[in-house]
Amino acid sequence: MVIAVMSDLHDNVKTWELVVKYLQAENITTLINCGDTCAPAMLEDMSKTFSGHIHTVFGNVADRELEQEVASSLKNVTHYGDRGEVELDGKHIFFNHFPAIAESAAKSEKFDLVCHGHTHLKRWEPMGKTMIVNPGTAGGMFQYPSIATINLQTMKCSFIDFTL
């Protein structure tokens, strides 16, 4: 199973259009979103245009109450609050927005994969038996917009850059 990991979209509708086309072309049906989607309306748009499942958490730029309310009305979105855990294809995955929390989760050795955002910098590295990924910034702030895809069988990560 190949999943996509995204963070820090910051309401960039143009990038989201490119991301969703890529996900559809690659038949990727699971997206982990590590926060800073920003406006709840953006999350609603993501839900309408992506037919797969979106697992998401808060970032540091959010109307938390409204985001949670909107997410609860979307059939293909699961909102986990500040931290999420999910098991996919036999892999235990943790995700949140902040790197320090991600590193703490990785050090616990309870997870195969830990995902975070916030820094807008791509990262793929081992920490003990856990791989840590930061997909960069889907919103394209300070660098090209990017997401990561991860093959959960091989634990191979690819960064996908988008040009606007």
For residue 113, the one-letter residue type is L
d(CA 126, CA 45): 34
Q: Residues in the chain, how many?
A: 164
CATH at residue 62: 3.60.21.10
Count of domains in the chain? 1
pLDDT of residue 141: 86
Domain that holds residue 94: 2-161
94, 104 contact by CB (below 8 A): no
What pLDDT, in 10s, does the model give residues 120-149?
999 999 999 999 999 999 999 888 999 999
pTM for the predicted model, two decimal places = 0.96
Q: Tens-digit pLDDT profile for the chain (164 aa)?
A: 999 999 999 999 999 999 999 999 999 999 999 999 999 999 999 999 999 999 999 999 878 999 999 999 999 999 999 999 999 999 999 999 999 999 999 999 999 999 999 999 999 999 999 999 999 999 998 889 999 999 999 999 999 999 87
